[in-house]
Chains A and B, each alone.
Chain A
Amino acid sequence: MEDIGLWGVPLAILGGAIRVSTPFIFVSLGEAVTERSGRINLGLEGTLVFGAMAAYAVAVETGSPWFGVLAAMAAGAGFGLVHGWICSFPRVNDIAVGIALMLFGIGLAFFFGKPYIQPSAPPLPAIGFGDWSDIPQVRAALNVNVLFLFGAALALALWWGFKNTKIGLIVRVVGDSADSARAMGLSPTTVRLFATAFGGALAAIGGAYLSLYYPGSWNERISSGQGLMAVALVIFARWNPIGCFAAAMLFGGAGALGPALQSVGVTQGYYLFYAAPYILTLLIMIATSSPGRQLAGAPGELSITK
């Protein structure tokens, strides 16, 4: 292994952005779709943990990580449908339901996940984009998992789809004004049901990435709140899928800063470096907020903006 010294820091941030960001990407894209339809699903942390468990269990049983991802998506969609269904009743608070489902998802994942802590599951494949390099560190940093690429493509597709497709328009109209949607003959409840299910399926893919690739094992503490942070990222990204992708990369990279700085000898105050992603979020939130107007880009039907 060559000595790369201080180059290790930018490399670690790049590598970390790619490695750590994927769960954030999927959860925030899923939540962006759900919130664009006018509903908040705070339960995605539970969906993420359950998705991690389901993917790992199915991958262990079938020997195929892809069946694991599919199982996670199905489970995640199921959680989304439950959330959407409960919220379709009058005067149900979507935030409270989300918190209940978060605890339910985590509890259920612990319950079913017990026998899968010890076995090893086959990991998801990665593509070595750094194979041109002789430096092992670069090769390791650019070893990109296929789910990350899928997430990037999905961010683009959703961004384009919101603007240019009929489905995108339907979701946006339902999210901005339920009355207009009804006037157009759309059922906001049905649209939100499917948007929440879609969001749940994506969040569960994020969980599958955690358990099947990085860090690549199932245990009950696999997620350290990624699902919750990703929900916050959506607001940070102003409900824009490309913004979600960028925010997730930023978060991943900032998270890699602490260990990387310690490894090159910047060891004083590492607790502060670990807080970097949150400080960054706070600063950007403060810089872009204004007391005079509503959050730009916020769907009009969201319970937090109404």
Chain B
Amino acid sequence: MTDLTISRRSLLKTTAAGAALGLAGVPAFSTRARAAATTVGFIYVGPKDDFGYNQAHAEGAKALKAMEGIELVEEENVPETVDVQKTMESMINLDGASLLFPTSFGYYDPHVLAMAKKFPDAQFRHCGGLWDKSKHPMNAGSYFGYIAMGQYLNGVVAGHMSKSKKIGFVAAKPIPQVLNNVNAFLLGARAVDPTITCQVIFTGEWSLAVKEAEAVNALVDQGADVITCHVDGPKVVVQTAANRGAFVCGYHASQAPLAPEKYLTGAEWNWATVYSMYAKHALAGEPLPNFTRGGLSDGFVKMSPLGPAVTEPARKQFEATLAEIKKGGYAVIKGPLKDNKGKEIAGAGKAFPETAIELESTSFLVEGVLGSTS
């Protein structure tokens, strides 16, 4: 059950583990009282080793494996359809899961909501921030992280490493969260050199391997020499950029193993913080928070270790900025600031820290970003 898509390689392993689980179910052989264990279910929309969104969640789930009293069930490649309801139902009924993390954005409405109504004793926490106290069941909830600050730090390193003063961003869709990341990446670079520009290319889909590769080629052809992205699986972007000789900054999880020489740093989710917090509450029998958010300073987001190519001045400014951010309250979007059509976003003295509610409906690209949202 932990792994529906059984590979040849792991078949033996899984069978062995299955046998062990079977034994654990028999009271005489059980090392842990079954009643005391909390079973936690994780559901992923893609493979959990995709070097991206799903891997970030799976790494967070792994942190729970070490916790006493927690049983983990996971399922990959669950589409955002009624399939995810079936998965949740079987995790609750067959595996005895009492806490579920359906991690993909599209799982929430209507699937998580329907299951939360159907199983009032189980707890559902969904990644994305969609939970609304006035409308949604109290056994559901949302958690999310502010990762734009990570892209800002990516930008700081990119600003130092770019020789052409042109950096590139491969983006999926022009939604607020993606636009915040693009803006932060450019503003980070501009904190180093205010003449830097960032070219953004929207592919229109969260996962479109060939178009992502084409986008990287087009960016490099136009002179961009540091590339980052916001797509579900950054693997293709990182590999293509490194092959073309450009530096890359990662996203979601660490892609350093794919391009050890060209990888500078990356904005990674640190979901272990969130998941172990929920697990501790669940084990202690306390109510789980319905709404959780945090950024770099809360340990929800982390940076990949700096790569070997990063120069000393870049390292210094990166570390200084990181220390500043960790104090809390740091604002990337602050006045005077214009968007790339010349309209004023923030007047002098006005600042939007990452927690600002305005940033959840961002629809602009800041001055210096070459691109358009439609």
Interface residues of A (CB under 8 A from B): 1-4, 8, 11-12, 15-16, 19-20, 110-112, 114-115, 117-118, 120, 137, 140-141, 210, 214-217, 219-222, 224, 226, 255-256, 258-260, 262-265, 267-271, 274
Chain A residues with CB under 8 Å of B208's CB are 221, 224
The residue among B204, B214, B370 with the most chain A CB atoms within 10 A of its own CB is B214
- Closest Cβ of chain B to A215, distance in Å, is 4
Whether the pair A8, B47 counts as a contact (CB closer than 8 A) is: no
B9, B204, B209, B222: the one within 8 Å of A264 (CB): B222
Q: A216-B240, A263-B215 are in contact. List 18 more A-B contacts (CB 8 A).
A: A114-B5, A117-B49, A118-B49, A140-B244, A141-B221, A210-B209, A216-B236, A220-B46, A221-B46, A224-B208, A224-B211, A226-B210, A262-B199, A263-B222, A268-B372, A271-B204, A274-B204, A274-B211
Chain A residues with CB under 8 Å of B202's CB are 262, 270
| Residue of B whose beta carbon sits closest to that of A9 | B218
Whether the pair B218, A215 counts as a contact (CB closer than 8 A) is: no
Q: Report the bound CA distance from A202 to B300 in whole Å.
A: 47
Chain A residues with CB under 8 Å of B50's CB are 117, 219
Chain A residues with CB under 8 Å of B207's CB are 221
| Residue of B whose beta carbon sits closest to that of A271 | B204
Whether the pair A269, B215 counts as a contact (CB closer than 8 A) is: no
Q: With A140-B220, A262-B218 in contact, do A215 and B233 touch (Cβ < 8 Å)?
A: no
Q: Report the bound CA distance from A4 to B219 in whole Å.
A: 12
Whether the pair B239, A259 counts as a contact (CB closer than 8 A) is: no
B210, B221, B372: the one within 8 Å of A263 (CB): B221
Whether the pair B9, A214 counts as a contact (CB closer than 8 A) is: no
B209, B218, B235, B236: the one within 8 Å of A259 (CB): B218
Whether the pair A217, B370 counts as a contact (CB closer than 8 A) is: no
B186-213 vs A, CB cutoff 8 Å, 1 = contact: the mask equals 0000000000000111111101111111
Q: With A217-B239, A263-B199, A267-B371 in contact, do A110 and B77 touch (Cβ < 8 Å)?
A: yes
Chain A residues with CB under 8 Å of B201's CB are 259, 262-263
Q: Report the bound CA distance from A87 to B354 in whole Å.
A: 60
Whether the pair A267, B372 counts as a contact (CB closer than 8 A) is: yes
Q: With A111-B7, A114-B7 in contact, do A263 and B218 touch (Cβ < 8 Å)?
A: yes
Whether the pair B217, A12 counts as a contact (CB closer than 8 A) is: yes
Q: With A20-B210, A120-B258, A214-B213 in contact, do A8 and B204 touch (Cβ < 8 Å)?
A: no
Q: Report the bound CA distance from A141 to B222 in whole Å.
A: 13
Q: Report the bound CA distance from A148 to B258 in whole Å.
A: 26
Q: Which of B360-374 touch A at CB < 8 Å?
A: 370-372, 374
Whether the pair A221, B209 counts as a contact (CB closer than 8 A) is: yes
Give the bracket for the number of chain B residues in contact with chain A: 35 or more
Q: List 25 A-B contacts (CB under 8 A).
A: A1-B223, A1-B225, A2-B223, A3-B223, A4-B222, A8-B221, A12-B218, A20-B214, A110-B77, A111-B5, A112-B8, A114-B6, A114-B47, A117-B47, A210-B210, A215-B210, A216-B236, A217-B236, A219-B209, A258-B211, A262-B218, A263-B222, A268-B374, A270-B372, A274-B211
Whether the pair A270, B7 counts as a contact (CB closer than 8 A) is: no
Chain A residues with CB under 8 Å of B51's CB are 118
Chain A residues with CB under 8 Å of B225's CB are 1
Q: Report the bound CA distance from A162 to B165 in whole Å.
A: 55
Chain B residues with CB under 8 Å of A226's CB are 210
Interface residues of B (CB under 8 A from A): 5-10, 46-47, 49-51, 77, 164, 199-205, 207-215, 217-223, 225, 233, 235-236, 239-240, 243-244, 258, 370-372, 374
Whether the pair B221, A4 counts as a contact (CB closer than 8 A) is: yes
Q: Report the bound CA distance from A256 to B221 in whole Å.
A: 13
4 closest Cβ contacts across the A-B interface?
A267-B372, A263-B218, A215-B213, A114-B7
Q: With A112-B7, A117-B49, A220-B46 in contact, do A215 and B222 touch (Cβ < 8 Å)?
A: no
Whether the pair B10, A265 counts as a contact (CB closer than 8 A) is: no
Whether the pair B220, A259 counts as a contact (CB closer than 8 A) is: no
| Residue of B whose beta carbon sits closest to that of A265 | B370
Whether the pair B235, A217 counts as a contact (CB closer than 8 A) is: yes
Chain A residues with CB under 8 Å of B49's CB are 117-118
Q: Report the bound CA distance from A11 to B214 in whole Å.
A: 12
B210, B222, B233, B372: the one within 8 Å of A224 (CB): B210
Chain B residues with CB under 8 Å of A120's CB are 258
- Closest Cβ of chain A to B173, distance in Å, is 10
Q: With A117-B47, A271-B204 in contact, do A262 and B371 touch (Cβ < 8 Å)?
A: yes
Chain A residues with CB under 8 Å of B219's CB are 263
Q: With A111-B5, A259-B201 in contact, do A11 and B221 touch (Cβ < 8 Å)?
A: yes
| Residue of A whose beta carbon sits closest to that of B8 | A112
Chain B residues with CB under 8 Å of A260's CB are 214, 218, 221
Whether the pair B204, A115 counts as a contact (CB closer than 8 A) is: no
Chain B residues with CB under 8 Å of A258's CB are 211, 214
- Closest Cβ of chain B to A273, distance in Å, is 10
Chain A residues with CB under 8 Å of B209's CB are 210, 215, 217, 219, 221-222, 224
Whether the pair A270, B47 counts as a contact (CB closer than 8 A) is: no
Q: Report the bound CA distance from A260 to B257 in whole Å.
A: 29
Q: Report the bound CA distance from A20 to B5 in whole Å.
A: 30
| Residue of B whose beta carbon sits closest to that of A118 | B49
Chain A residues with CB under 8 Å of B258's CB are 120
Q: Report the bound CA distance from A215 to B142 in whole Å.
A: 35
Whether the pair A255, B223 counts as a contact (CB closer than 8 A) is: no
B218, B235, B239, B243: the one within 8 Å of A8 (CB): B218
Chain A residues with CB under 8 Å of B199's CB are 262-263
| Residue of A whose beta carbon sits closest to that of B243 | A216
| Residue of B whose beta carbon sits closest to that of A211 | B209
Chain B residues with CB under 8 Å of A267's CB are 370-372
Whether the pair B47, A255 counts as a contact (CB closer than 8 A) is: no
Whether the pair A215, B212 counts as a contact (CB closer than 8 A) is: yes
| Residue of B whose beta carbon sits closest to that of A123 | B243
Chain A residues with CB under 8 Å of B223's CB are 1-3
Chain A residues with CB under 8 Å of B47's CB are 114, 117, 219-220
Q: Report the bound CA distance from A215 to B51 in whole Å.
A: 15
